[in-house]
């Protein structure tokens, strides 16, 4: 974005445009919701985000979680290629996957996933009072946010450094279920020669 109402010798612009990837996941959302419900511990002391579940290998609990993980990675690859305008595939992987169940009052404070290339969320069950909000770090002082109200079955992927939060669920009898994942390079960011993996890829084009 450029600001043009200035004198001829002055330029004001934002050098860091950011993309958010939004698509529909090809998965049985009803079945996924049922599988998640079986794992929710409703006797626990739910706080802030209400119910949070993670597992070292959530993909191994049920085939549907493995399929969701596979599609997370596939769309991360597609987002990477489209945003960089390159014809590369199969370099991204799902590094960690979990789900949150937001009941009334449940929310998530602003945070990022700086250690991952991408953050992501698959919306399993939604309502109208609990949305995800994105804030670019350079715009914090100006309270500039981008608000998204996804539908069930939709997947969002965004840069890991981007701040995001979830507004409180104000519905007393309508929970919100979100499955999230950290997405990153399959290999380490650095190889034995201390060269970035993505630089190696571009050197071979």
**Cβ atoms of 125 and 176 closer than 8 Å:** yes
CATH of range 15-203; options 1.10.1060.10, 3.40.640.10, 3.40.50.300, 2.60.120.620: 2.60.120.620
Phi then psi dihedrals of residue 194, to 5 deg: 65, 30
Q: CA separation (Å) from 101 to 63, 68, 162?
A: 21, 17, 22
Least confident of 14-18, 89-93, 191-195: 191-195
Asked if residue 19 has pLDDT above 90, the reply is no
pLDDT, residue 191, reads 47
pLDDT, residue 199, reads 44
- Rounded CA separation 131/121 (Å): 12
Banded pLDDT at 189 (limits 50, 70, 90): low
Over the stretch 63-81, which tens digit does the pLDDT of each residue have?
999 999 999 999 999 999 9
Q: Which tops the pLDDT comparison, 42 or 199?
A: 42
Q: Which tops the pLDDT comparison, 133 or 8?
A: 133
Over the stretch 123-181, which tens digit does the pLDDT of each residue have?
999 988 878 999 876 665 556 788 898 999 999 999 999 989 898 888 888 889 999 99
- Start-to-end Cα distance in the chain: 31
**Cβ atoms of 169 and 177 closer than 8 Å:** no
Instruction: Give the domain ranges of the chain.
Output: 15-203
- Rounded CA separation 112/165 (Å): 9
Q: CA separation (Å) from 93 to 19, 74, 116, 191, 197?
A: 19, 8, 10, 17, 14
Q: CA separation (Å) from 30 to 26, 123, 189?
A: 12, 11, 37
| Full-model pTM | 0.82
**Cβ atoms of 80 and 91 closer than 8 Å:** yes
| Strand extents, DSSP E, the chain | 2-3, 12-13, 21-24, 51-54, 92-102, 108-111, 118-125, 132-135, 146-148, 154-159, 163-166, 176-185
- Rounded CA separation 98/78 (Å): 22
């Amino acid at each position: 974005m450029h600001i043009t109402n200035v004198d001829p010798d002055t330029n004001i612009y934002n050098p860091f445009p950011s993309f958010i990837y939004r698509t529909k996941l090809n998965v049985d959302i009803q079945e996924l919701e049922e599988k998640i419900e079986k794992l929710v511990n409703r006797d626990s002391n739910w706080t802030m985000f209400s119910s949070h579940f993670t597992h070292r290998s959530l993909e191994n609990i049920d085939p549907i979680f493995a399929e969701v993980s596979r599609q997370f990675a596939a769309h991360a690859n597609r987002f990477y290629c489209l945003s960089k305008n390159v014809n590369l595939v199969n370099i991204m992987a799902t590094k960690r996957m979990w789900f949150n169940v937001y009941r009334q009052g449940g929310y998530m404070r602003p945070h990022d996933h700086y250690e991952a290339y991408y953050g992501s969320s698959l919306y399993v069950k939604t309502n109208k009072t609990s949305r995800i909000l994105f804030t670019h770090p350079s715009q914090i002082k100006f309270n500039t946010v981008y608000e998204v109200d996804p539908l069930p079955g939709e997947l969002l992927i965004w840069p890991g450094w981007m701040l995001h939060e979830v507004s409180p669920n104000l519905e007393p009898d309508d929970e919100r279920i979100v499955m999230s994942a950290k997405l990153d390079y399959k290999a380490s960011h650095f190889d034995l020669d201390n060269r970035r993996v993505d630089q190696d890829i571009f050197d071979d084009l």
